[in-house]
Amino acid sequence: MSVAEGRNIPPTPRRVAIVTDSTPYLPRVLIERWGIAQVSLYVGWEGDLRPEHEYVDLDAFYARLHDSPQLPTTSQPSVGDFLACYQPLISEGLDIASIHIAGGLSGTCESAREAARLLLEEGHPGKVEVIDSQTGAGGLGCLVLLAADVAERGGTLADVAEAIRRGRESLDIWFCLDTLEFLRRGGRIGAAQAAVGTALKVKPILTFGTEIAPVGRVRTHRRAFERMVAYLHELHERGATDWIIQHAQSPGDAERLVAAGTELFGGEPLFCTEVGPVLGAHLGSGMLVGGMTRPSLLP
C-alpha cells in the first residue's frame, strides 16, 4: 500500500470549464479574462442563417430589422456545434458547466443536453452539466461570470452548479422596449400580450425570466428612462452587489444609466454592452437593466 493509499487522500477534483452561448453579450475582454467558451446561435433573413458573432455591424443589422417587412429567423446551435466545443475541453481533463439562455425562450439547452448525452455514451471521462439559466441577456451574463469565478477559485462542478442556482434566486432583469411590435410579430410576446392588449404604442416594462412577462408600462421615453433609474434604486435597496446595463440602439440612454448607477452603487457595472442580433430580432430597440446579490461562493 502506498503512502497516499494509506492516508486515504481524495483524488484532485477535475477543473471546470465554463461554456455559454452567444446571447449574454458579454464584453470580449471578460470572455478572454475568464476563459469562457461560447457556442453561437444563428440569425438571418431568407434562409441565410449565420452565427451571431459574424454580425459585426450592429447598426446595419438594426437598420435592416426596422426596414424589412420580414423578421429575421433565429436558430439554436446544433448538437454538432456543442460537440465541437465540448470535446477539446474534455480532452484537456476538464469537466464542463454549460450555462444557457432560458429553455422557455430557446432550444439551446436541448441541443447542449443532446451533445452531453452523446459524449457520455461514447465513454468520455469528463462530466458535462447543462444548466438552464432561466433568464437571458445580461442576466445570463451575470450567472456565467459568477460560475467562472467559482471555477477559477477551485470549485467543483457541483460548486459551480450550486452557485448558479443561488445566484439565480437573487437575480432580476427588467427592460423597457420602444415597441412590442417585434415580440408580437415573432410570436414571442407570451404573457406580455395579455398585459398590453393591442396598445402597442405604450412603452412596456418587462422582466426577463423563463418567459418575457410584464411588470408595468409607461407612455413616454422620458418616463421609461425614469423607471429604469428607479429600478436601479430598487436593486440597491435590496442589497444587489452586481449590476449590469445593456441596450439596443440606445447608447445615450445606456451611458446615462451607467452614470446614475455608478453614483448609486459607488462603482461601475459588471458590464455595459449592446444586445446583439438574436435577441435584438425579437425585442427591437430599448434599454435593459439588471442586478443580483452575489452569494457566498466557496467555504
What would the pLDDT profile of 93-135 be if each residue is shown by its tens digit?
999 999 999 998 899 999 999 999 999 998 888 899 999 999 9
SS3 76: coil
pLDDT of residue 69: 87
As given in the structure block, the three cell numbers for residue 186 are: 415573432
pLDDT of residue 71: 86
Q: What is the dihedral of CA 186, 130, 121, 123, to 10 degrees?
A: 140
Q: Is the pTM of this model over 0.85?
A: yes
User: Do residues 293 and 170 touch, judged by C-beta distance below 8 A?
Assistant: yes
Q: Examine the pLDDT at 197 and tell me if it is beyond 60.
A: no
Query: Within 13 Å and on the Cβ side, how many CA atoms surround 155?
Result: 24
pLDDT of residue 209: 73
Alpha helices in the chain (DSSP H): 3-7, 28-34, 58-67, 79-91, 108-121, 137-152, 157-169, 181-185, 191-196, 221-237, 251-265, 277-283
The full set of domains in the chain, from first to last, is 16-41+77-169 (3.40.50.10440), 172-292 (3.30.1180.10)
**CA-based nearest residue to 246, from 169, 138, 113, 158:** 138
Q: Examine the pLDDT at 58 and tell me if it is beyond 50.
A: yes
pLDDT of residue 9: 45
What would the pLDDT profile of 247-273 be if each residue is shown by its tens digit?
999 999 999 999 999 999 999 999 999
What is the CA angle 49-79-56, rounded to 5? 35
The Cα–Cα gap between 281 and 297 comes to 35
Distance of CA 270 to the CA centre of its chain: 13
Q: Give the mean model confidence (pLDDT) for residues 171-200.
A: 65
The Cβ of residue 48 has, within 10 Å, a number of other Cβ atoms equal to 10
**CA-based nearest residue to 23, from 89, 84, 120, 102:** 102
Q: Examine the pLDDT at 7 and tell me if it is beyond 50.
A: no
pLDDT of residue 95: 96
As given in the structure block, the three cell numbers for residue 31 are: 470572455
The sheet carrying 272-274 orders its strands as 212-218, 203-208, 172-177, 286-292, 242-248, 272-274
Residues 6 or more apart from 229 whose CB is under 8 A from it? 257, 260
Q: Examine the pLDDT at 175 and tell me if it is beyond 90.
A: no
Among 133-137, 171-175, 207-211, the range scoring the smallest mean pLDDT is 207-211
Q: Which residue has cell 458579454?
A: 26
